[in-house]
Copies of this chain bind each other. A is one copy, B any other.
Amino acid sequence: MLVAQRRDLLLDRLRLDGRVIAKDLAAELGLSEDSVRRDLRDLAAAGLCQRVYGGALPASPATGDYAARQDIAVGSKRKVAARAAALIQPGSTVIIDGGTTALALVHALPADLKALVVTHSPTVAAALATHATVEIYLIGGRVFKHSVVASGAAAVEAAEGVNADLFFLGVTGVHPRTGLTTGDADEAAMKRALSRRAADTYVLASTEKIGAASPFSVLPLTAVAGIITDAPGTSSIMQELAEAGTAIVTA
């Protein structure tokens, strides 16, 4: 076991378990707690984890000194992405939509996940290229710039050949009455086409999407298996969604 490898392992455990206990790791790896502590100290110094008494936690997203709003949005997206990633079964086929939340999902995938990811987003595909074990199938077509995804007739046609277990749908609005909406008609059609090719569709809805509505309707709320969000269930909009029978997956 190389030192650098061990540190990667620590970071993996942090991502997967959300924490690391120095004593346990020392026992598992068969070395002294001192060494584990030293590693954690170094990783913390590099900003890769947060040191706590007894072990360490993943680096809190709020470590940076960015604009506060951006941090919240990023944190929200990351939470939603992490919850979405947990839904993916090894060996399954997953369709991932375009957009920033979908991109966060790519980064939240476990490093050793073996799965086939289908996407119509070149950005998602490019980001996945750095993942060791995931296979990538890219849906081609006319690329629309505002959201950087392939859409149009050719893309819909290419999507018809796909059969997936899950589809992670990104939208710009989730509203109790208008349902799931987005800003472009062609894109909405593309999202519908992808949704038809998956057994279950989950919506990636970071906080700011909840209660918002955009011009073009994608799907009714009843057409999806669940909405993944980190918005608090106590808000009136969330309660309306719950009353409408929508399954809420809390991140």
A190 proximal to B (CB < 8 A): no
Q: Is the CB of B143 within 8 A of A138?
A: yes
A57 proximal to B (CB < 8 A): yes
Majority secondary structure, A binding face: mixed
Chain A's interface size range is 35 or more
Q: Is the CB of B3 within 8 A of A19?
A: no
A46 proximal to B (CB < 8 A): no
A60 proximal to B (CB < 8 A): yes
Q: Is the CB of B136 within 8 A of A138?
A: no
Chain B residue at minimum C-beta to C-beta distance from A60 = B130
* Interchain nearest-CB distance for A25 vs B (Å): 13
Residues of B within 8 Å of A123, CB to CB, are 122, 126, 129
Q: Give complex CA distance A161, B154 in Å.
A: 10
Residues of B within 8 Å of A158, CB to CB, are 140, 154, 158
Please, what's the 1-or-0 string for A124-167, where 1 marks a CB less than 8 Å from any CB in chain B? Answer: 11101110000111111111010010100011001001000000
Given known A-B contacts A57-B5, A150-B138, A126 and B126 have beta carbons under 8 A apart: yes
Q: Is the CB of A122 within 8 A of B142?
A: no
Chain B residue at minimum C-beta to C-beta distance from A22 = B2
Out of B2, B135, B161, which one reaches A52, CB within 8 Å?
A: B2
Please, what's the 1-or-0 string for A26-62, where 1 marks a CB less than 8 Å from any CB in chain B? Answer: 0000000000000000000000001011110100111
Residues of B within 8 Å of A60, CB to CB, are 130
- Beyond the given pairs A2-B55, A126-B148, A140-B155, 20 more chain A to chain B contacts, judged by CB atoms under 8 angstroms and listed by A's residue number, are A2-B19, A2-B52, A3-B52, A3-B53, A4-B53, A5-B19, A5-B52, A120-B140, A122-B122, A122-B123, A122-B138, A123-B129, A125-B143, A126-B126, A128-B143, A129-B145, A136-B143, A137-B141, A140-B150, A158-B158
B-binding residues in A (CB < 8 A): 2-5, 19, 21, 50, 52-55, 57, 60-62, 66, 120, 122-126, 128-130, 135-143, 145, 148, 150, 154-155, 158, 161
